[in-house]
Amino acid sequence: MSSVYPFRGLSAFPPTPANINGRVNAQALCRLLDPLCDAGAASIGLLGSTGIYAYLTREERLRAVKAAVECVNGRVPLIVGAGALRTDHALDLARDAEAAGADALLLAPVSYTPLTQEEAYQHFLAVAKASRLPLCIYNNPGTTHFTFSRELLQRLSDVETIKAVKMPLPADGDLRGELAQLRQKTDLAIGYSGDWGAAEALLSGADAWYSVISGLLPRTALALTKAAMAGNDVEARRLDGLLQPLWEVFKAYGSIRVVYTLAEHLLGVRAELPRPLLPLGLAERQRVLDNAQPLIELEHQSLL
């Protein structure tokens, strides 16, 4: 098994359909996961930020993992989010995911009191020791307000089961420079989130795209991923251009609000945002649907 398994290529992060009380709709979740498997995603990122992990109870997170394991049935590796405010809760979530049949873990340093670098290290070390599953570091300072130093990433890369890092797009846009520095300090598989920068990240040599939009439009996202990882600059940028209308509404409204709007539209079921998050207004919702419709049609027609 490769040391980067399953942290290479397109990792599709679907929303988690749930009602206003946070009860997961297992049937609707499976309807989202089947197309990701059929399209050939390299992995599925269950209970990521788009999957509202931070808003679900332990019981509902386990319900989602069990439903996903049953639905996916080994077709695609499942990377399951185990982030929690307390270390002991994160340990429980990691063990739950492993026992339910997950293939890997994703861990963010969730906190209320800002963490020190040492506190984050001890937190990750404890979770890594609690499970035999390979673990991906979730570096998401926009949400967690914690930034991993290069030295901390280097320390964590020495932990046997920590295999990858999910990075935000660099503020200065220097993807090649950041990748070179990270590869010099660590042997982690390096992937990026921030969908609008995916083409550039993959063309710059990133190992993976941790993708929000692939949770709903996997064939489009996979075509972009394959083109970029093959070094086909023209095709990757063409596909990225097709997705620009969605990147516009992602930036305008936040990707989570856009994705839940589209999930309800595509599935025909309620996929409630957890309060205090509110659904988009009528005008904003219509803009999202108008921007997405050509891509939805393209996806279904397999014209890529």
- Which positions are catalytic? 138, 166
SS3 state of residue 44: strand
* C-alpha dihedral, 124 to 126 to 127 to 133, nearest 10°: 100
Q: Residue 127's closest CA among 77, 162, 165?
A: 162
Q: Which residues pair with 162 in a beta bridge?
A: 135
| CA–CA distance, 259 with 1 (Å, rounded to integer) | 33
User: CA gyration radius for the chain?
Assistant: 18
What is the dihedral angle through the alpha carbons of 42, 186, 149, 202, rounded to the nearest 10 degrees? -40
- CA 293 to chain centroid, in Å, comes to 23
Bridge partner list, 81: 106
Give the whole-angstrom CA distance, residue 240 versus residue 197. 9
